[in-house]
Every structure is written in structure tokens, then in C-alpha cells.
Amino acid sequence: MLRYLLRRLLVSIPTLFAIIAISFFMIRIAPGGPFDANRKATPEVMANLNKAYHLDEPLPEQFGRYLWGVLHLDFGPSFKYRDYTVSELIFRGFPISLEIGLWAMLISSTIGISLGTFAALKQNSAWDYTVMTIGMTGIAIPTFVTAPIYQLVFGLALGWLPVAGWDGGWQHKILPILALSVPNIAAISRLTRGSMIESLRSNHVRTARAKGLGVRLTVTRHALLGGLLPTLAYLGPATAGIVTGSVVIERAFAIPGIGRYFVEAASNRDYTLVMGTVIFYGVLIIIANLIVDLLYSLVDPKVRYE
């Protein structure tokens, strides 16, 4: 187990390096320098600025410096928010994004697994079709359409919840979490249904029923474990989906999380902030995949990582 963990960590290093390198060099060939927007400065001032930010050094040296900084969680200063470093902005936004993301993850897996199991138990019934149709709808309608519709219905028409904004209160969290959860509920329930149907047909489940075990116990003790493996494997990609979704949600609901900093940075050409957030997201997704793989190896006795 420990060996597997170490090997997995080792394998993530090239990926991480690739993320950093691609971000760094891509941003470097992007047009426009960080000081272009300023008033025309004299060549001496520009030279001094470039020197202060080490932009006059050869590229490999700059990359080494950046890499070294990233290892210390130092992504350099933000070009747009002059008083902040990129790390400060990321760690100011992250708790908020994380809170919404974790809630969405929790809610979508609980509801998704329940709905999927339910549909599998009642396969080909009206309930099954209802759940699957909702699932298809949830997947096909993107969050940037649903989020404004929730705002319109629950915020403006019914007036139950605030339309947008963030003050840390629970009222402001409901709609963003809802909007972020629905596509994942849809995906997870479809996935769970498929694998549960297969699991319910397997020999050990039939044996359990044959020896007189009730439906409920058979499902919870025997069918569910096998049926949930594909769902568990999906949680890795689901994290990536929630990260991407949070970018939309944070813009739609005006939430000051990382996603919003990222979008603002991308439209302001705040290169260091863009690089910092992309690398941060990359690390997040790598960690999520690692956790999912470890859980998978714990749950599935067939998986041997030797």
C-alpha cells in the first residue's frame, strides 16, 4: 500500500512538471508584456522594471526561478492586483471555492447514488424512466444556462433566496451548490444505475437472495459495494468537472472564489495569476485522482498494485 502510494506520488511529478512548464512557456509566448498597459515609461525605467521582476534573465533561468518559487507556494506577484501576491489571492479565494465544491460533491454523490440505485431496483418502470430523463436533462443543459434560470426563479420570481453575492451566510450558498450539483447528480445516477443493474444480476447477489436475505440487506451488504466501483472511479473526473463548473458558478453568482480570480485574470491578461491558478487547479485534480485511486484499491479486492 505504502509502496503504491509512493509510486503514485512519483508518477505525478512529471505531470506536475508538465503543467508548470506548459503554463510558463505558453504565457511567455503570449503577446504583450506585463507593463504594456502602463504609461509610456523611459527605456531606463523599463529596464529597471524588467530587472526587478527578473525579466531580463535568460528564459531557462527564469523558468528555474519560477519552478523554485512554485515549490514554496510562491507564484510571484499579481500584475493586476499590485498589492497582492498570487498566493495571497489563491488562498483568499480557495476556502470559499472549496466549501462550495465539497458540498456539491457530497450532495451529488449522496443523491446521485440513491437515485441510481433506486432506478436500478425498479428497472424499466416509470420511476426508472423519470430518473433517467432527469439525468439526461441535467447532463445536456450546461450550468451557465441553469444557474441564471435558478436565479430568475428562486431569486427574482419567488424571492426565496438572494440572487447573487456572498456574505458567508447559508442563504447565499444554496443556489450555487444546487447549480453545481445537478449535472453531477445526473452523471452519477446514470453511472450508478448501469453498474447496479449489472451488480444485481451477479451470482453472489442471487445466492444472497436465494438463501433468504431480504432485499434491503442484499442491496446494502452485497450489491452496493460492487455496484459503486465505477461511481467511485468517476469521482476523480467529477472533481475536475466541479472545478471547471465552479468557474461558471462563481461568475454567475458573483462569489469571490478562485474561479472568479481566474476568469478576471484571463480577461485582464494578469499572466502570473492565470499561471498560478492553473497550476493550483492542476495540483488539486492530481490530488483528487490520487485519493480516488487509493480508495479504489482499498475497496476493490481485485485491484492489486504491485
Binding site for another protein (CB under 8 A): 14-15, 18-19, 22-23, 26-27, 29-31, 136, 139-142, 144-145, 147-149, 151-152, 156, 240, 243-244, 247-248, 251-252, 262-263, 266-267, 269, 271, 274, 277-278, 281-282, 285-286, 289
Shortest approach of another protein to residue 45 CB, angstroms?
Answer: 26
Shortest approach of another protein to residue 42 CB, angstroms?
Answer: 28
Shortest approach of another protein to residue 221 CB, angstroms?
Answer: 29
| Among candidate residues 101, 189, 97, 173, the one with its CA nearest the CA of residue 139 | 189
Distance CA 55, CA 61 (A): 10
**Which residue number, 146 or 218, has a Cβ lying nearer to another protein?**
146
Q: Which residues of 53-86 are buried (b: 16+ CB within 10 A; e: fewer)?
A: beeeeeeeebbeebeeebeeeebbbbbbbeeebb
**Which residue number, 115 or 286, has a Cβ lying nearer to another protein?**
286
**Which residue number, 106 or 152, has a Cβ lying nearer to another protein?**
152
Specify burial of residue 170 (Cβ count, 10 A radius: 0-12, 13-18, 19+): exposed
Cell of 6: 509512493
Shortest approach of another protein to residue 3 CB, angstroms?
Answer: 21
Distance CA 276, CA 209 (A): 54
Distances (CA, A) of 214 to 114, 192, 197: 18, 21, 17
Shortest approach of another protein to residue 104 CB, angstroms?
Answer: 17
**Which residue number, 89 or 208, has a Cβ lying nearer to another protein?**
89
**Which residue number, 30 or 37, has a Cβ lying nearer to another protein?**
30
